[in-house]
A and B are shown apart, each in its own frame.
Chain A
Amino acid sequence: MGNVSTKVSIEHLTYKYPFAENVSLEDITLSIDAGQSIGIIGRNGAGKSTLCYVLSGLIPRFFHGKITGKVTIDGEDVPTMPIERLIRKVGLVLQNPFSQISGAKMTVYEEVAFGLENLGIEKDEMHERIDTVLRQFDLYKKKDENPFELSGGQLQRLAIASVLVLKPEILILDEPTSQLDPRGTTEVFETISQLKTLGITILIVEHKFEKLVEYVDKIALLHEGKLLGYDTAEHIFSTSEIETYGVGQPIYTALCKRMGLKKANGYYPVSFGETAALMNGLKESGMDRRTYDG
């Protein structure tokens, strides 16, 4: 039994897809507290999406295969939890904004209603919830437009709204900005920022580390199906091995590593703010950039 505030608990999770030679997740153990935001990083094939599918219940309901270990949300076993209850606990947003639109609804309003209709939510409550999320995600003016006429960023916001209207306690975002331009990316991260204030537990798979580190409390580093690290961003990106896993690092961390600039706590800065503060500190103390040349 975990801590009372533990929302998600994963113990010795191992999973292998049908017909796959190797396991996609191997002996993963971690726990996530309620309201925390977790970033999941790793190179392609590390098992990031697979972990999302396990937590959202798509494994083993949608993808079969061999799963061992224990995955619980609020102490309830995820693989055996009734789907209607699981949907109310976990929402999943996929990377391609176009393919996660149901395709069966003619307007943004009806698209958001899709999940509520499936769950048999009463009409009055349905309207109330839809109006709230559409306003929350700045889509209310677009409510009568066809979903496929929206821009990439708006479409991804619609996808998030369509999931959040079901009021999940945990939101999983699997590379939500991978197909978006910088404006769309900013829109999605601003949305995530809003959700954090609402106390929703967030798991986000993302390669745009400069953005990611600003929004997450912890980072889970996956490599070839194994969990190699689960700690704060500065801790994860300060390790010297991070470069050998092929995941990259925030540009500010790479710059500071190159310059040998560390924060007072011994870790490298991960964000623009931290790096700028560190450099300003150096400037004020009389050291300029030339000190690091050559």
Chain B
Amino acid sequence: MRVLSLYVENDTFIHKLEPIAKLLYALISIVITFLFPSITVGAVFVAFSLLLAISAKVFKRMLLLLNVVLIVLLSMVIIQGLFYRQNVTPAFKLWGLTFYKEGLLYSLLLIVRVVNMIISFGVLILTTRPSDLVDNLVQKGLSPRFGYVLASVLQIIPQMLSTTSTITDAQRSRGLETEGNLFQRFSAFFALLGPLVLNSLVEARERAMAIEIRGFGVEGKRTFVRQILETKTDRWIKISLYVAFIVAVVWRIILWAM
């Protein structure tokens, strides 16, 4: 049974950081790149996030993540380069189409923002065990029920996929066409929905019973077998991030007022 997780096991400084510190970096770096319409600011964060990825030894995986959005990024260049509202200055011509400087610069701004979003969240996802992140959030006050939903989704979705495959095999063995033209595939999909949904509901009910009998609904103080501790480094990182965030917001307000 596979688990829906991209976590890469390694023993690096970044891996050892508190998950919330990494989450905070991802969120604040994204907010700052969106607060400032500046390619330079975005590029600084991209470079820093890449540095984190390299020091966490997850650079190759990061490239795979970026590869997924490559087409989206290219389409941004084409669409903005051709159709951005403020396009005035032609930059170059390609197959008879004129690309404009303003649109290309705007697409570059969008790209650094998206790339930073992917890399900063990538650092978090690739270097943090999902259950550690959830435990850390619950330890800091997130509702255990919400935490459970976040953590269980990662394992239960692959389990549902496995059930889907079993149901499809069973239906195929009884003569249902699950492959072929679009119509056949569509009918097979509808035939799959009923048993899959019913099966999932039954399993969800059983799981709810099983966790209830193991005290999930008990009110009161919880303990954690893996206590995620906040080190001095984590604390300083978080303080620095908060400071950077406040400075960025104030700076933005000043820029806006001017």
> How distant is the Cα of A119 from the Cα of B213 in the complex, in angstroms?
11
> How distant is the Cα of A90 from the Cα of B215 in the complex, in angstroms?
11
Interface string of B207-241 (1 = CB under 8 A from A): 11111111111101111111100000000000000
**Are A58 and B209 in contact (CB-based, < 8 A)?**
yes
**Are B225 and A123 in contact (CB-based, < 8 A)?**
yes
Task: Answer yes or no: B206 CB below 8 A from chain A CBs.
Answer: yes
Task: Answer yes or no: A98 CB below 8 A from chain B CBs.
Answer: yes
Interface size class of A (residues with CB under 8 A): 35 or more
- Taking CB atoms, residues of chain A closer than 8 Å to B130 are 106
Task: Answer yes or no: B38 CB below 8 A from chain A CBs.
Answer: no
- Taking CB atoms, residues of chain A closer than 8 Å to B210 are 92, 94, 99-102, 159
Q: What residue of chain B has the Cβ atom nearest to residue A88's Cβ?
A: B215
- Taking CB atoms, residues of chain A closer than 8 Å to B206 are 94, 96, 99-100
- Taking CB atoms, residues of chain B closer than 8 Å to A53 are 209
* Cβ-neighbour of B152 out of A56, A87, A102, A117 (below 8 A): A102
A202 CB → nearest B CB, Å: 16
> How distant is the Cα of A173 from the Cα of B212 in the complex, in angstroms?
16
Task: Answer yes or no: A61 CB below 8 A from chain B CBs.
Answer: yes
Listed stretches A107-115, A203-211, A231-239; interface member = A107-115
A127 CB → nearest B CB, Å: 7
B245 CB → nearest A CB, Å: 31
**Are B209 and A62 in contact (CB-based, < 8 A)?**
yes
Q: What residue of chain B has the Cβ atom nearest to residue A100's Cβ?
A: B210
Task: Answer yes or no: B196 CB below 8 A from chain A CBs.
Answer: no
**Are A87 and B218 in contact (CB-based, < 8 A)?**
yes
Task: Answer yes or no: A288 CB below 8 A from chain B CBs.
Answer: no
> How distant is the Cα of A266 from the Cα of B210 in the complex, in angstroms?
43
**Are B159 and A115 in contact (CB-based, < 8 A)?**
no
A17 CB → nearest B CB, Å: 13
> How distant is the Cα of A126 from the Cα of B223 in the complex, in angstroms?
9
Which of B152, B203, B209, B225 gathers most chain A CB within 10 Å?
B225
Q: What residue of chain A has the Cβ atom nearest to residue B155's Cβ?
A: A103
**Are B214 and A166 in contact (CB-based, < 8 A)?**
yes
**Are B225 and A126 in contact (CB-based, < 8 A)?**
yes
Interface string of B1-38 (1 = CB under 8 A from A): 10101000000000000000000000000000000000
**Are A94 and B209 in contact (CB-based, < 8 A)?**
yes
Given A102-B152, A103-B159, A62–B214 Cβ distance below 8 Å? no
B98 CB → nearest A CB, Å: 53
**Are A118 and B225 in contact (CB-based, < 8 A)?**
no
- Taking CB atoms, residues of chain B closer than 8 Å to A92 are 209-210, 213
**Are B225 and A127 in contact (CB-based, < 8 A)?**
yes
A293 CB → nearest B CB, Å: 43
**Are A114 and B211 in contact (CB-based, < 8 A)?**
yes
- Taking CB atoms, residues of chain B closer than 8 Å to A146 are 1, 3, 155
**Are A87 and B215 in contact (CB-based, < 8 A)?**
yes
**Are A106 and B207 in contact (CB-based, < 8 A)?**
no
| Top 7 A-B residue pairs of the complex, sorted by shortest distance between their CB atoms | A148-B1, A115-B214, A118-B215, A100-B210, A113-B225, A104-B151, A99-B206
**Residues of B that sit less than 8 Å from A by CB:** 1, 3, 5, 129-131, 134, 144, 147-148, 151-152, 155-156, 158-159, 202-203, 206-218, 220-227
**Residues of A that sit less than 8 Å from B by CB:** 53, 56-58, 61-62, 83-84, 87, 90-92, 94, 96, 98-106, 109-110, 113-123, 126-127, 130, 146, 148-149, 159, 162-163, 166
With A61-B212, A100-B207 already in contact, 4 other A-B pairs whose C-beta atoms are closer than 8 Å: A83-B217, A98-B159, A102-B210, A109-B225
Can you pick out 22 interface pairs between chain A and chain B where the beta carbons lie within 8 Å of each other?
A62-B212, A87-B215, A99-B206, A102-B214, A103-B207, A104-B134, A104-B147, A104-B152, A105-B131, A110-B225, A114-B211, A114-B214, A116-B223, A117-B222, A117-B224, A120-B220, A122-B223, A123-B225, A123-B227, A146-B3, A149-B1, A162-B214
